[in-house]
Copies of this chain bind each other. A is one copy, B any other.
């Protein structure tokens, strides 16, 4: 696995059960995964020699993030080391213009959008789509970065001045009037067999996921449509491993927001809350093993992220407060605290969303920034 963040850390945890030897390429000995795995190698994911050196002797290579030199991955695959997901699949996550173009071509429901590469076209697109308008850089964004909501023409002008020349490739998009955000995880094997997790509701604040609510509080037919769309996206992307599809629900229509070709924050609840965790299923898919059942284990599961508190507290010093909350399962990532940084998460299973949510929030608030009130 290339990348040593919390996703690699939790994948290592899952690999212990399966007895699969997992080697991890980390950027630093203090990376989240490096603190808990004995099989880490230092390397830079943009340096060809580091990747090929790391991959030597691996039967299959996967990633914990998409910011990897994809050309090297494609070459590795051609030279006989399986890369799962493939460089082509990873491009759906690294290039939003490519993703929009391919998903549109496959007839998948998307927000109305234009892809632009020059100033005049960008302004024309925004005028057509209406204000406020969403502008995303095709490359380099994640966790709300690389996405701007611009209220009017002067704001767009200022943004474009700021970006400067050459004009990057942008996705200019209608602002969908959200009822809620949904996410669907799909695990897909190299043979194309895929299984889908229950539809979850993702509570975002400032572009960052704060809570995942399972099941999503939408009508069964909305959940069914979300599942159908996500399954189709997985087939179009031709992903192997976990694919996370983030969706908008505006009360009328499901549209695709983002696609991640790896385990995802919206699937952390599966560690305790589902028969097979997303990390175990990612490993199973990537290793070509049978995929595991995705059913939830309780009527309600809520995951709350632990974000760095503004008082700079170290979450591990506040475990007692979190663990005194009934049913709270705590996951800390071993990262140094910084206000707003994702330092861990808490999952709670319960008979109702309200109970699970109150408990998850209480435990997360002991460890980090309190989760803001939201519907």
Q: What chain B residues lie within 8 Å of A275 (beta carbons)?
A: 327, 329, 349
Cβ-defined partner of A315 (8 Å) among B9, B13, B15, B19: B19
Q: Does B20 contact A12, Cβ atoms closer than 8 Å?
A: no
Q: Is A358 an interface residue (CB 8 A)?
A: no
A316→B17 contact, CB < 8 A: no
Q: Type the 1/0 row for A331-363, where 1 means its CB is closer than 8 Å to any CB of B.
A: 111100000000010000100000000000000
This chain: how many copies in the complex?
A: 2
Residue A324 CB within 8 A of the other chain: yes
Q: Which one of B16, B298, B329 contacts A36 once the chains associate, using CB atoms below 8 Å?
A: B16
B-chain residues with CB within 8 Å of residue A297 when the two chains form the complex: 297-298, 349
Give per-residue flags for A43-76: 1 if the beta carbon is below 8 A from chain B beta carbons, else 0: 0000000000000000000000000000000000
In the assembled complex, the Cα of A334 lies from the Cα of B39 at a distance in Å of 14
A323 to B289, Cβ gap below 8 A?
yes
Cα(A298)–Cα(B326), bound, Å: 18
Interface residues of A in 275-330 (CB under 8 A from B): 275-276, 280, 284, 287, 289-290, 292-293, 297-298, 315-316, 319-320, 323-324, 326-330
| Interface residue A130 (Cβ < 8 Å from any Cβ of B) | no
Closest to A333 in B: B19
B344-A19 in contact (CB<8A): yes
In the docked arrangement, what's the CA distance between A369 and B148, Å? 59
For A20, what are the chain B residues with a Cβ–Cβ distance below 8 Å? Answer: 316, 319
Q: Does A18 make an interface contact (CB < 8 A)?
A: yes
Are A320 and B17 touching (Cβ within 8 A)? Answer: no
Q: Is the CB of B38 within 8 A of A290?
A: no
Besides A15-B36, A17-B329, A280-B329, 4 other A-B contacts (C-beta < 8 A): A17-B332, A19-B344, A290-B320, A293-B327
Top 10 A-B pairs, shortest CB-CB distance: A19-B332, A38-B38, A290-B324, A290-B323, A19-B316, A17-B331, A16-B36, A13-B16, A297-B297, A289-B323
